[in-house]
A and B are shown apart, each in its own frame.
Chain A
Amino acid sequence: MSKNLRINSSKFIDQTNRISFIFNDKKYYGYKGDTLASALLANNIHLIGRSFKYHRPRGIMTAGSEEPNAIVQLHKNTSRTEPNVRATEIEIYEGLEASSQNCWPSVNFDIGGINNFFSPILPAGFYYKTFMWPANFWEKYEYFIRKSAGLGKSPTEPDPDIYEHRYIHCDVLIIGSGISGIMAAKTSAKNGLKTLLVEEKPYLGGTTIYQNSEYFKINNQTSGSWLEKEINEIKKLKNLEIKTRTSVAAYHGYNFLLAKENLTDHLPIEIREKKIRHRLLKIRAKKVVNATGSIERPLIFDNNDRPGIFISSAIKRYADLYGVACGEKNILFTNNDSAYETAISLIQKGINVKAIIDNRENVDSKLIYEAEKNNIKIFKGFTVVDTSGYKRIKKISIMQLSKDGQKVVGSKKNLHCDCLGVSGGWTPVVHLFTQSGGKLKFREEDSVFIPNEFPSNQISVGACNGDFFLDEILINVPKSLQKFLKIKNSEYDNIEVSSFINKSNRNIWLLPSDKTFGKTKPFVDYQNDATAKDIKLALREGFRSIEHVKRYTTTGMGTDQGKLGNMHALGIISETAGTKMGELGTTTFRPPYTPLTFGTIVGRNVGEYFDIFRKTPIHNWHVKHKAEFENVGQWKRAWYYPKENESMHEAVQRESKAARESAGILDASTLGKIDIQGTDASEFLNRVYTNAWSKLAVGKCRYGLMLNEDGMVYDDGVTTRLGENHYIMTTTTGGAANVMSKLEDYLQTEWPELDVYLTSVTDHFATVSVCGPNSKKIVSEVIPDLDLSDESFPHMSFKNAKIGKINCRVMRISFTGEHSYEINIQANFGKSVWEKCMDAGKEFNITPYGTETMHLLRAEKGFIIVGQDTDATMTPIDLQMDWIVSKKKYDFIGKRSLYRSDTIKEDRKQLVGLLTENPNEVLEEGSQIVSDINKSPIEMLGHVTSSYYSPNLNKSIALGVIRGGKKMMGQRLIIPMEKKNINVTVADPVFLDKENKRLNA
């Protein structure tokens, strides 16, 4: 275990900077520059976790973000714990703590591993088939599944880190800093374009930067050192911003992209305090260059998932970049020349490569010759048929392929190894391209999907465009950049490339085996344990659409979104169903390309900034006087003001009584206020409200009801005529913005000929409402110069006044049915006017009341609340408010709809009052109303919309909507509750002071 597999001093690893870290409670050492994966491999640790369904031991397969297996939990049981972190991406730092996932009780002895032996009972769709029936068994299944499966543990404490968002606008965004991305960055920035280059890894240069083979040269230098010079050059360019550790998560329309810049995940925990962890970049780019590269494909054969089985290019990266040998007895299995690059690189470092299994026959190239020269045994035309070794690969079995590649022939050979590298060719990374709406086409020669139609201003260059080889890249990339960026001179004329690779490959999606199909486990999706067998089963059961097969088998549905195996899944479906790959299409790649934490998504919008709220100018007074608040739209409104140990009910009863018996005061500042001016203002109101406005005298107020064109009640409120051509409209608190927008809509689009101007003044005024029999005395003390006599200032009228030197508007209007005044004053004087009223009202025991009391008081009077007693299916007629619908007006918004065949039906739900048989029984809002509980099914007649205990009437009152309710006055109905049935009687919705005597009391 303590073996050191560090093989040379790679220039990318700082061997003077040793770092300790913990994996599964044991301490290990690595170096600065290591990923967790490379450091574990250097310590000869291969068993990282267990697979999701069968709990098979799994190791590290790749060296990048496509990793399906090596996912770990970081810093378990702390506030910074994070599940599903790819060991291949996380950089080690002093104190890093990681542990295996999907294993219980431990990675080495795992109870769920037993699933592996029972795998015939876990076929595709197993979860759907088994756990759906019988339904009441679900709880038992769930317990078992949750215990033994699952992907890590989410943190239980608040996230201690800080995140932020930043907008970036640029001329050109380049995604990926491999050789193609670097060429694009130089071309773009050198030509005066504001350029942003993002790279998900901590270093630039992709796979080329560590390439020092004599077989791939640019201008007579190794491609690695050529690229290094290019990188040093672009770092000096002024127009270029470079961001490493930055991965693009989403590519939306109009070149809007989201990227995560990772700022502290590679730092020791102690020094992360107060630093921003991730920055979500919201990038709007005029042009986008996708240079996202390609992912090497695995090969699909029996038991292709054991720890110690890698993607061949990953073995090369671990050796070249991290200076780590993945094994001491290496074997490679390939269908193309890439594996030979790996072999030669290992041999040069003195790492043993025993053999290369190449499924191609009669193939030759300089690389193959070089491999043979180094005594690597090459098996041409062979395939791996099986592997063994439980926690680490020990042995492979190989057989010769038949000419057509469909069968194996001859006898089986066994070869011992501790590491197997597989190479199935390359898949362009087109996820972001397709997210943006790009369409792909299938290239038959090497079985790849490549970008075809570009939806917005973007191109794909290099490997992600299907140009995998150095010579293709250096010829094609500069040309397409020149055209795309409209640049005259290429930066890369007269460049010399030498590349000795043979470009042939022999693609066999599912390699044949000597065993009968069904007895083998060729994994296609490693993370979700989906095998080729599962896919074939899905097809046999009738699934055809690739999207359905994906969901049924869970192929490609893990945290890695099947980056490795998706192509094979498609290939197997295509072969089995006899559909061409190009016609089959691919599954949809959805954002994010790699997972984002919630912290990154919300940024600074946490805590009190999560959902920003609006406060009235009087808010601090309410806080000081211990009000409880309720949310109304974005507003915080005082709900009730409990005294000492009062319950909500007690407080509301006290407030309601005080308002009717002496005086109450309400902060009504949140009501929407729209200033309406213009010579056609009266005509405009005539058209938007159901009642008539032209005859309203200056200085008078009127209640108005606003409908939608479909005749349904939309909003209500009192509007006051301030002058000949000047009105102020009030709207409901929640409806203000929508009413404003609706009025603007009609004004700008239907009636542009009207001379009317609208201004939202909700925030400009504070509104203090004083009500009750003593309200007149209080207001006269606050505004002594104002004549409050009924003759001069009757109900529904308005006066300008002054409090000290400050102008205010006083309306005598009432939402409680009491004599009351609303004082509107410039917002910043709101609190002082409120306090003046409180002082003046002291001798009358003026009582501040909140929204709950306001709701109770208006319900006593049968006044509706739009949105509570209505729900966009109620006409004024349904509300028994026929009196407010003008018969004389030729037209208003919604008028025609009031006599559609549907709206004139007599059995529509209509608003009524409800009284309980037992006056102390308070109904629950939302309860259903029925007439016959013995009928099956019970017919629902309607529901309760508002319900309170009225301290002024000493009984329970409620409003409700009932089918045909208008004609049911006095009828007894039933409200069935969980434990009892409540008897109610249909009543007039106005419970108190039908004659409106109190208004002038």
Chain B
Amino acid sequence: MFLINCPYCGERDQSEFKAGGEAHIIRPKQPTELSDDEWAEYLFMRKNIKGIQFERWNHAHGCRKWFNIIRDTSNDEIKTVYKMGESPPKL
């Protein structure tokens, strides 16, 4: 079970958090302008990397804040944690 360093609360047990999938997928500003394929790209396509992955997590049973983490999915090591809206730090 991970120990996640919430940027607002500090280190907490994984059971307090909810995973929210891949990070940095921006909702298109003008969805109606997009073709079916372009919209499908946003809607369905995820990288699902074995290795370094950027993810969104939510401190659901805590401060309720969403934030990003960088996790190595091959060994679950969390490299770093950063707030929503911040660009990912260089590793």
Interface: B27 (CB within 8 A): yes
Q: By the criterion CB–CB under 8 Å, are B32 and A741 in contact?
A: no
Interface: B84 (CB within 8 A): yes
Pick from A710, A749, A890, A901: contact of B32, CB under 8 Å: A890
A752 vs B34: C-alpha distance when bound (angstroms): 23
A249 vs B20: C-alpha distance when bound (angstroms): 30
**B 48-64 contacts with A by CB, 8 A:** 56, 58, 60, 64
Q: In whole Å, how far is A151's beta carbon from the nearest beta carbon of chain B?
A: 30
Pick from A455, A749, A891, A900: contact of B84, CB under 8 Å: A749
Q: In whole Å, how far is A432's beta carbon from the nearest beta carbon of chain B?
A: 15
Interface: B10 (CB within 8 A): no
Nearest chain B residue, comparing its CB with the CB of A258: B1
Q: By the criterion CB–CB under 8 Å, are B36 and A900 in contact?
A: yes
Q: In whole Å, how far is A280's beta carbon from the nearest beta carbon of chain B?
A: 14
**Cβ proximity bits A235-259 to B, threshold 8 Å, 1 near / 0 not:** 0000000000000000011101000
Q: Which residues of B contact A752 (CB under 8 A)?
A: 84-85
A711 vs B65: C-alpha distance when bound (angstroms): 26
Q: By the criterion CB–CB under 8 Å, are A741 and B31 in contact?
A: no
Q: By the criterion CB–CB under 8 Å, are B18 and A897 in contact?
A: no
Q: By the criterion CB–CB under 8 Å, are B65 and A748 in contact?
A: yes
Interface: A82 (CB within 8 A): no
- 25 A-B contact pairs sorted by A residue (CB < 8 Å): A253-B2, A253-B76, A254-B2, A254-B3, A254-B76, A256-B1, A284-B3, A437-B75, A709-B27, A709-B43, A741-B60, A745-B20, A748-B84, A749-B56, A749-B84, A750-B26, A752-B84, A752-B85, A890-B32, A891-B31, A895-B31, A896-B31, A896-B32, A896-B39, A901-B36
Q: In whole Å, how far is B60's beta carbon from the nearest beta carbon of chain A?
A: 6
Q: Which residues of B contact A710 (CB under 8 A)?
A: 43
Given contacts A252-B1, A253-B76, A897-B43, contact A748 B32 (CB under 8 A): no
Interface: A372 (CB within 8 A): no
A749 vs B85: C-alpha distance when bound (angstroms): 7
Q: Which residues of B contact A897 (CB under 8 A)?
A: 39, 43
Q: In whole Å, how far is A156's beta carbon from the nearest beta carbon of chain B?
A: 33
Q: By the criterion CB–CB under 8 Å, are B27 and A750 in contact?
A: yes
Interface: B40 (CB within 8 A): yes
Q: Which residues of A contact B26 (CB under 8 A)?
A: 750
Q: A455-B75, A744-B66 are in contact. List 7 more A-B contacts (CB 8 A).
A: A254-B76, A256-B1, A455-B77, A709-B43, A741-B58, A744-B58, A749-B66
Q: In whole Å, how far is B15's beta carbon from the nearest beta carbon of chain A?
A: 10
Q: Which residues of B contact A896 (CB under 8 A)?
A: 31-32, 34, 39
Q: Which residues of B contact A256 (CB under 8 A)?
A: 1, 3
**A 252-291 contacts with B by CB, 8 A:** 252-254, 256, 284
Q: In whole Å, how far is B46's beta carbon from the nearest beta carbon of chain A?
A: 13
Interface size bucket, B side?
A: 20 to 34
Q: In whole Å, how far is B2's beta carbon from the nearest beta carbon of chain A?
A: 5
**Cβ proximity bits A423-458 to B, threshold 8 Å, 1 near / 0 not:** 000000000000001000000000000000001000
**Cβ proximity bits A888-923 to B, threshold 8 Å, 1 near / 0 not:** 001100011100110000000000000000000000
**A 705-719 contacts with B by CB, 8 A:** 709-710
A53 vs B81: C-alpha distance when bound (angstroms): 53
Given contacts A253-B1, A254-B1, A254-B3, contact A748 B40 (CB under 8 A): no
Nearest chain B residue, comparing its CB with the CB of A254: B3
Q: Which residues of A contact B85 (CB under 8 A)?
A: 752
Nearest chain A residue, comparing its CB with the CB of B14: A254
Q: By the criterion CB–CB under 8 Å, are B32 and A744 in contact?
A: no
Q: Which residues of A contact B36 (CB under 8 A)?
A: 900-901
A256 vs B26: C-alpha distance when bound (angstroms): 35
Q: By the criterion CB–CB under 8 Å, are B27 and A895 in contact?
A: no
A891 vs B39: C-alpha distance when bound (angstroms): 13
**Cβ proximity bits A794-838 to B, threshold 8 Å, 1 near / 0 not:** 000000000000000000000000000000000000000000000
Q: In whole Å, how far is B69's beta carbon from the nearest beta carbon of chain A?
A: 13
| A253, A455, A744, A897 pick with most chain B CB within 10 angstroms | A253
Q: In whole Å, how far is B10's beta carbon from the nearest beta carbon of chain A?
A: 14
Q: Which 7 A-B pairs have the closest CB atoms?
A: A896-B31, A256-B1, A254-B3, A748-B66, A253-B76, A750-B27, A896-B39
Pick from B13, B32, B56, B84: contact of A895, CB under 8 Å: B32
Given contacts A253-B76, A284-B3, A750-B27, contact A891 B32 (CB under 8 A): yes
Q: By the criterion CB–CB under 8 Å, are A744 and B31 in contact?
A: no
Q: In whole Å, how far is A414's beta carbon from the nearest beta carbon of chain B?
A: 55
Q: In whole Å, how far is A527's beta carbon from the nearest beta carbon of chain B?
A: 31
Nearest chain B residue, comparing its CB with the CB of A711: B43
Q: Which residues of A contact B77 (CB under 8 A)?
A: 455
Q: Which residues of A contact B60 (CB under 8 A)?
A: 741
Q: In whole Å, how far is B18's beta carbon from the nearest beta carbon of chain A?
A: 7
Q: Which residues of B contact A709 (CB under 8 A)?
A: 27, 42-43
Q: Which residues of A contact B66 (CB under 8 A)?
A: 744-745, 748-749
A437 vs B76: C-alpha distance when bound (angstroms): 10
Q: In whole Å, how far is A890's beta carbon from the nearest beta carbon of chain B?
A: 7
Q: By the criterion CB–CB under 8 Å, are B2 and A900 in contact?
A: no
Q: In whole Å, how far is B79's beta carbon from the nearest beta carbon of chain A?
A: 13
Q: In whole Å, how far is B20's beta carbon from the nearest beta carbon of chain A?
A: 7
Q: By the criterion CB–CB under 8 Å, are A741 and B1 in contact?
A: no
Q: In whole Å, how far is B24's beta carbon from the nearest beta carbon of chain A?
A: 10
**B 1-25 contacts with A by CB, 8 A:** 1-3, 13, 18, 20
A709 vs B21: C-alpha distance when bound (angstroms): 15
Q: By the criterion CB–CB under 8 Å, are B1 and A744 in contact?
A: no
Q: Which residues of A contact B3 (CB under 8 A)?
A: 254, 256, 284
A897 vs B31: C-alpha distance when bound (angstroms): 9
Q: Which residues of B contact A749 (CB under 8 A)?
A: 56, 66, 84
Q: In whole Å, how far is A841's beta carbon from the nearest beta carbon of chain B?
A: 41
**B 76-91 contacts with A by CB, 8 A:** 76-77, 84-85
Q: In whole Å, how far is B53's beta carbon from the nearest beta carbon of chain A?
A: 15
A744 vs B58: C-alpha distance when bound (angstroms): 10
A503 vs B55: C-alpha distance when bound (angstroms): 51
Q: Which residues of B contact A284 (CB under 8 A)?
A: 3, 13
A284 vs B43: C-alpha distance when bound (angstroms): 38
Q: In whole Å, how far is B52's beta carbon from the nearest beta carbon of chain A?
A: 16
Q: By the criterion CB–CB under 8 Å, are A741 and B40 in contact?
A: no
**Cβ proximity bits A580-605 to B, threshold 8 Å, 1 near / 0 not:** 00000000000000000000000000
Q: By the criterion CB–CB under 8 Å, are B31 and A900 in contact?
A: no
Nearest chain A residue, comparing its CB with the CB of B26: A750
Q: In whole Å, how far is B54's beta carbon from the nearest beta carbon of chain A?
A: 13
A749 vs B57: C-alpha distance when bound (angstroms): 11
Q: Which residues of B contact A744 (CB under 8 A)?
A: 58, 64, 66
A900 vs B65: C-alpha distance when bound (angstroms): 32
Q: In whole Å, how far is A677's beta carbon from the nearest beta carbon of chain B?
A: 16
Q: Which residues of B contact A437 (CB under 8 A)?
A: 75-76
Q: In whole Å, how far is A997's beta carbon from the nearest beta carbon of chain B?
A: 39
Nearest chain B residue, comparing its CB with the CB of A708: B43
Q: Which residues of B contact A745 (CB under 8 A)?
A: 20, 58, 66
**Cβ proximity bits A692-716 to B, threshold 8 Å, 1 near / 0 not:** 0000000000000000011000000
A448 vs B75: C-alpha distance when bound (angstroms): 25
A896 vs B18: C-alpha distance when bound (angstroms): 27
A252 vs B3: C-alpha distance when bound (angstroms): 11
**Cβ proximity bits A374-399 to B, threshold 8 Å, 1 near / 0 not:** 00000000000000000000000000
Nearest chain A residue, comparing its CB with the CB of B38: A896
Nearest chain A residue, comparing its CB with the CB of B67: A748
**Cβ proximity bits A737-752 to B, threshold 8 Å, 1 near / 0 not:** 0000100110011101
Q: Which residues of B contact A891 (CB under 8 A)?
A: 30-32
Q: In whole Å, how far is B21's beta carbon from the nearest beta carbon of chain A?
A: 10
Q: In whole Å, how far is A315's beta carbon from the nearest beta carbon of chain B?
A: 41
Q: Which residues of A contact B18 (CB under 8 A)?
A: 741
A253 vs B3: C-alpha distance when bound (angstroms): 9
A284 vs B15: C-alpha distance when bound (angstroms): 13
Q: Which residues of A contact B39 (CB under 8 A)?
A: 896-897, 900
Q: Which residues of A contact B58 (CB under 8 A)?
A: 741, 744-745
Q: In whole Å, how far is B25's beta carbon from the nearest beta carbon of chain A?
A: 10
Q: Which residues of A contact B20 (CB under 8 A)?
A: 745
